Amino acid sequence: MSENTIIETLNPKNKFIFITGGVVSSLGKGLASASLASLLQSKGYKVRLRKLDPYLNVDPGTMSPYQHGEVYVTDDGTEADLDLGHYERFSGVPAKRTDSITTGKIYQRVIDKERRGDYLGATIQVIPHVTNEIQEFIYSDLSDEDFVLCEIGGTVGDIEGQPYLETIRQVAYDLGKERVMFLHVTLLPYIPTAGELKTKPTQHSVKHLQEYGIQPDMLLCRSQMPIPQNEKRKIALFCNIKEENVITAEDVKSIYQVPIAYSMEGMDKQVCKYFGLDCDQPTDLSKWQNIMKVISNPEGEVQIAVVGKYVQLLEAYKSLNEALVHGGIANHHKVKIKWIDAEDLENGNPSDYLSDVSAILVPGGFGSRGTDGKMIAIRYARENKLPFFGICFGMQLAVIETMRNVVGVKNAGTTEIHEGCEPVVGLMTEWDKEGAKQVRHKNGDLGGTMRLGAYEAVLKPESLVRQIYGTETISERHRHRYEVNMKYEKDLNSAGMFIAATSPDGKLPEIAEIRNHPWFVGVQFHPELKSKPFAPHPLFVSFVKAAIDKGRLL
Ligand code: GLN
């Protein structure tokens, strides 16, 4: 398909902002994109956020959380980069399959087309075939958005990133600079011996972009301190950018302060000015300011343990961390998370680690490492009546723990890791999605084959979760391959554990609760993925409240 045909179908309102990163990785481009989007929303514009990841994996679903942090899951079942989580939390716009692309996906499409003969005998090349495919992605599934913000993963200079830079150059060429802005995020390192912020790496990074035919229109400079005006002037001159478009992104204490800080620096105003839009009207920052008020002056503090496997890399639990913060904000409390490596609990006394926490959360996970430690934490919470929240694998292990230690089935386990066990948690091979049967095979591909995305669940009238949600049915996001087998429901009931929610057909358990306990809830889904600072997830609000009520403080 010719790109021009796609361009003709675009809404003339659509303007594109491409966000690239330079100098080093981990500059917070995702947060920068999410913050800018939210500021533009506050000015009344409709936004969409997209991530273009140059790595060769089809999606991050099969990558270790140590490599790539959390895998974010959208309602429509896409396993995507964690930046999509920032986008959703800041803008409230639900991310979709069409908002996330990787080189793996692009090549998969190109090769499929080549095999089908769609290229009519042409030699397939990066330009135009790969770049056309990237363009198609950029233009796809849009309606009347004012701004489409597309973040390019990685750092300028990465070999995998080159086709993306070439593509966005072409987009600007085709649409004209009136509809396209290039925003480059860089770092100004501070050299203590010289007492100076250094601009050279930024200059080099911009030169690099210019080699690809991209002249940035705005620089967002990460810095530990305010950037003196003369340095801004120097950057502007050397990088061929308007001085007022050199924006300082000074380190701040909370990510929820970022939109406020950017707006104070004039970022949203300058973006509007660039596109010839009304830029003098002040941006309403009150929603962010209200949140910051609570974060800066909490009424109290509560410590909650998260017993997991990837606790050395907190990016692996990004949404979880945020959802707990949101639960804290809703209760006007600061949530202090005590990250505990599950394996540590396997050797030693659990109260050495858990006696100073008011609640315990066991998050999702895969594989055997740390499972015994997680089970020790669950038992501790159950026996000591500490609020407990089990998410996905955490829920499955909570059910196994009750089966083993209350029902007395000592070899109860999950077929994922416990060979020859009583299969309380087993491999699902079939389930229903929107009326269509989904079938999985034990030896099938690992990538993209889990029960993924939003599924409905029905809450039992007498359950705690029914009170918490205040609704009869819920829709939550899933990412799992195994499932608690309903045939153990009676045994669980006899031990005080109750299946509080199931899939609409009653076949798959979605939530397990222990009744004779102040707050013990295990959920098969990932509620953390839907929590937002302005709409904290009810389960996290209630869990944090239970922790505060427990009052077992530091
Ligand atoms: N490993 C478990 C499963 O596949 C749990 C997955 C998770 O916690 N996300 O069912």
Q: What is the DSSP letter of 532?
A: B
Q: Name the active-site residue from 151, 166, 528, 537.
A: 528
Ligand 1 geometric centre to CA of 309 (Å): 13
Percent of residues in the chain assigned helix, strand, coil, to nearest 5? 40, 25, 35
Residue 478: active-site member: no
CA 500 to CA 511: how far, in whole Å? 5
Helices (H) and strands (E) in the chain, counts: 20, 25
Q: How far is CA 550 from the centre of its chain?
A: 30
pLDDT in tens, the chain (554 residues): 445 678 888 999 999 999 999 988 878 899 999 999 999 999 999 999 999 999 999 888 878 877 778 999 999 999 999 999 999 999 999 999 999 999 999 999 999 999 999 998 899 999 999 999 999 999 999 999 999 999 999 999 899 999 999 999 999 999 999 999 999 999 999 999 988 899 999 999 999 999 999 999 999 999 999 999 999 999 999 999 999 999 999 989 899 999 999 999 999 999 999 999 988 888 999 999 999 999 999 999 999 999 998 887 878 899 999 999 999 999 999 999 999 999 999 988 999 999 999 999 999 999 889 999 999 999 999 999 999 999 999 999 999 999 999 999 999 999 999 999 999 999 876 555 666 666 666 556 655 578 899 999 999 999 999 999 999 999 999 999 999 999 999 999 999 999 999 999 998 999 999 989 999 999 999 999 999 999 999 999 999 999 999 986 54
Which amino acids bring their CB within 6 angstroms of ligand 1?
A: 364-366, 392-393, 416, 479-482
Query: Closest ligand 1 atom to the C-alpha of 416?
Result: 1
CA 546 to CA 550: how far, in whole Å? 6
Residue 392: active-site member: yes
**Among protein residues, the one whose CA lies closest to atom 8 of ligand 1:** 364
Contact 554, 497 (CB under 8 A): no
DSSP H helical ranges for 390-537: 393-402, 464-469, 489-494
The two structure tokens encoding residue 543:
């869990």
Query: Closest ligand 1 atom to the C-alpha of 425?
Result: 10
DSSP for 191-239?
Answer: ETTTTEE--HHHHHHHHHHHHTT---SEEEEEESSPPPHHHHHHHHHHH
CA 238 to CA 104: how far, in whole Å? 36
CA 470 to CA 538: how far, in whole Å? 9
Other CB atoms within a 10 A radius of the CB of residue 146 amount to 18
The two structure tokens encoding residue 80:
């995507």
Residue 526: active-site member: yes
- Domains belonging to the chain, first-starting first, are 3-289 (3.40.50.300), 298-553 (3.40.50.880)
Q: Name the active-site residue from 129, 392, 421, 483.
A: 392
Ligand 1 geometric centre to CA of 454 (Å): 15
